[in-house]
Structure 1
């Protein structure tokens, strides 16, 4: 969108001055700091002999005794067997929860990445578990193949994406882990297991979304589809008009999502449809610049909600603002240079339209917010811990800048999500524990029993998993 931080700053400042706002409300707002108390940008300083790690958002931080980079299956098995304490695998660190955090051994799978085998007859491909999604897409493209869908960020590793049920969007498109036809993993005793639906149907369904709790994944065999081209259309319009036709819009397009910009009454819908048209010329995106513009608008006019809304609606473009054609791997995922913090819940599809309106209203009630809200649809699958195994879901994600407050996620929004029967994204912030999750997931207790059988001494536990599983944890 051709709205820049500079134009927002200049325009909003002018509007504020024209309004003659010199009262206490504006002065108080101008002196406000939005940086949350205790925020630290850099990774923690590690004691001598230890390492330093933090996740992408910076809210999970650790100084593990070691960060291990095994280069082979044998080295991985030996690391797991010989590690004196707990072991936690980590991918790209893009989860916002404490799934990977440990003070013992942090396990990086960079050495177990890349294409291992490709079957031209079936289109199935085997990849190392540490392969980033963007690399998988590139490797598949070299064989004329593609994922049937992709998430909006593709820096995650396969193991991390599958472990947390990472997904894209589309009425008839399931989450990424539904493409898994087999996997290999090393268990807590160093044993190697090859798993398919035929060889062990229970472990197969439990392992596709396993939170890194059953073992360390080493490779996945995946379905692929012939490479395909998409047309991307981005449209900005009034939120009330858009919401009246939400279900019809979602059904009309292969991939469908929309963003709501708080305090504007405007949404941007993003749809993708199959096409044989030639690729259009690629231009640099300015999503990050636009986001900084929204922040500037909050900073300058947050003291006057009516003025903020009026200025935004006068300055934002309307109608179709972008049309692009390219390969699916180019259009479905984007780069997110601005770090943020996120909560995302997956609600029964029929509750989506009602709940998204409630969330939008709640966002507008808080003058300190500016990050867009994201809404997507996901088709069901059968993995035991998949948030989508109970039927079609609507996903609603809220965000905050990495350096700003996010406690209101839990007080203002999570209760609404839970009331609607929502299940949290495993890699994004939530407060649920064993009792809550057992109620939401029919196979949850079976999963916990399988975990105890495979890892009786809790080799792969950490504090976050202990809360999810309702077990004692002695760090």
Structure 2
């Protein structure tokens, strides 16, 4: 098997009655055999399973991550389905505690009902489990916040010997627990800080990308939340910038029974660019006509309008579609330089652009292995969607390979739950706490029970 087929696997499109494999959500990687799957009904049952098991253990979560992160490799390894350990456990005036396997959409819905919100902006996909989103460094956008892990007050874990341990920010190893790649233990409960819910108005614009290196900083400095899609072929941008709603805007929202308020009138200035992108995506995915969900991710940019709503209504709007998604965090201070290098590289090579580059910035994270650890960060996101037959555009993958090389050379840190080429990164150089994390891992899991071949190669 060549490197590309390992990093960018084809997708299984036909189900078979004889298939005994558990697959990840995208169905591009088998995770293990169904006979290795265990579904504890309680934390106590989970403790017994973990304590008695002698092989490796991986937790499935929502199975959205690249398969290599989740898979088991030996006949005596175990896959854990924790879907029974889900839901609200406790709340106070300014905290809330959920079971680790609670889907993010349930977390957000519960908070909304309580008139509360987290201090972090949400990621776009809400089908992730809370523990899985934390383990991989899931983040949103906005310089006054960072990853979801930075909102955690305490974790409750089942350790390798089956014992229970709780960790909070006063303990020296807390930074390791925040983003742990599932390598330290099984997270069964998470307590998060909450704040009174705020309503935002999101202003959308289509703009020229010639001054992107300067404008990116302005959007992030002037607005609480900002996100952009860079159509490099057309040198255009679609930008969302949100601030807290005025009293009048919030009142209009309340009178609309808490549904998103769309401002009157729409902007069609990006429609031509969207049509060009859709044409390329249709060619790459071999889908004719309007196609599937992958096309909705860009058609929503046609005839766009400003919105007023809560943070989850506006920003948690992702459409889960099987894809190869590469996202690399670059120190924000160097974002302008990197944008310039991407522009020069594009002008010299004219690579195939399958989808716009997604730009999101966050403040620094306290998590040792967060891609935003200790520095404000600009995340560059790249997507190639699967064709209906499970294949991937070779031109699109060529672009991913080359742009990741460029960003890795600039000190980039990859998103753990997405796709990346490990050999491109010098982990100790880009993560100052790399060896400190490994030491915590050895202390909590001396036999490296919560591992697999991939994590062993990465961490050992």
Structures share a fold, TM > 0.5?
yes
Aligned residues: CA RMSD: 3.2
Which of these residues, 80, 87, 102, is aligned with residue 107 of structure 1? 80
SS in 2 for 1:52: strand
Report the counterpart of residue 412 of structure 1 in structure 2. Answer: 402
**Mapping of residues 41-440 of structure 1, within 5 Å:** 41-42=12-13, 50-56=20-26, 58-64=27-33, 65-96=35-66, 98-103=68-73, 104-120=77-93, 123-148=94-119, 149-198=121-170, 201-275=171-245, 276=247, 277=249, 278-279=252-253, 282=260, 294-297=277-280, 321-360=304-343, 362=345, 365-366=349-350, 368-402=352-386, 403-404=391-392, 405=394, 407-408=397-398, 411-432=401-422, 436-440=426-430
Task: Please identify, of 214-223 and 428-437, the stretch whose mean Cα deviation from structure 2 is larger.
Answer: 428-437
Q: Which residue of 2 aligns with 1:468?
A: 458
Is the 8 Å Cα contact of residues 67 and 107 (structure 1) preserved in structure 2?
A: yes
CA contact (8 A) 1:369 1:400 kept: no
2:70 alignment partner, SS class = coil
Structure number with larger C-alpha Rg: 1
Q: 1:299 deviation in Å?
A: 5.5
Rate the CA distance shift 1:142–1:268 in 2: closer, same or farther, 3 A.
Answer: same
User: Does the C-alpha gap of structure 1 residues 95 and 318 become closer, same or farther in structure 2, counting only changes over 3 Å?
Assistant: closer
1:162 to partner: Cα distance: 0.6
Q: Secondary structure at the match of 2:353?
A: coil
Counterparts in 2 of 1:43 and 1:456: CA distance versus 1, 3 Å: farther
Among 3, 11, 18, the residue aligned to 1:40: 11
- Whether the 8 Å contact between 1:212 and 1:460 is mirrored in structure 2 is yes
Residue 378 of structure 1: how far off its partner (Å): 0.9
Partner of 2:293: none
Please state how far the C-alpha of 1:257 moved relative to its aligned partner: 1.3
Q: Structure 2 CA distance, aligned partners of 1:447 and 1:239?
A: 40
What are the superposed Cα offsets for residues 251-300 of structure 1, whole Å, 9 maximum, x if unpaired? 1111011001242221100111111412266599xx9xx97872424667
Q: TM-score normalised to the size of structure 1?
A: 0.79
Query: Does the 8 Å contact 1:347/1:395 carry over to 2?
Result: yes
Counterparts of 1:318 and 1:455 in 2: how far apart (Å)? 47
8 Å CA contact 1:346–1:393 kept in 2: the answer is: yes
Contact 1:356/1:396 (CA < 8 Å) preserved in 2?
A: no
Quick one: distance in 2 between partners of 1:43 and 1:317?
30
Q: Shift in Å at residue 435 of structure 1?
A: 7.7
Cα 1:361–1:430 shift into 2, 3 Å: same
Q: 1:291 to 1:462 in 2, by over 3 A?
A: farther
The 1:299–1:141 alpha-carbon spacing in structure 2 relative to 1, beyond 3 Å, is closer
Looking at structure 1, the residues matched to 316 and 300 of structure 2 have their Cα atoms a distance apart, in angstroms, of 23
Would the aligned equivalents of 2:326 and 2:383 in 1 still touch at CA under 8 Å? yes
- Equivalent in the alignment of 2:296: none
Q: Is the 8 A contact 1:185 1:192 kept in 2?
A: yes
Q: TM-score, normalised by structure 2?
A: 0.81
Residue 354 of structure 1 deviates from its aligned partner by 2.3
Change (3 A) 1:54 1:283: farther
SS in 2 for 1:63: strand
Q: Deviations over 1:368-416 (max 9, x none)?
A: 4321210111101222212222311111111111341464356411221
Contact residue 340 and residue 401 of structure 1 kept, 8 A: yes
**In structure 2, distance between residues paired with 1:160 and 1:139:** 18
Q: Give the Cα–Cα distance (whole angstroms) in 2 for the partners of residues 156 and 318 of structure 1.
A: 25
Partner secondary structure for residue 442 of structure 2: helix
Say whether the 8 Å CA contact 1:363–1:369 is kept in structure 2. Answer: no
Which ranges in structure 1 are unaligned for 5 or more consecutive residues?
Answer: 1-35, 302-315, 471-475
> Compared with structure 1, are the counterparts of its residues 300 and 191 closer, same or farther at alpha carbon in structure 2 (3 Å cutoff)?
closer
Q: Secondary structure at the match of 1:294?
A: helix
Q: 1:189 to 1:43 in 2, by over 3 A?
A: farther
C-alpha separation between the residues in 2 aligned to 1:174 and 1:339?
26
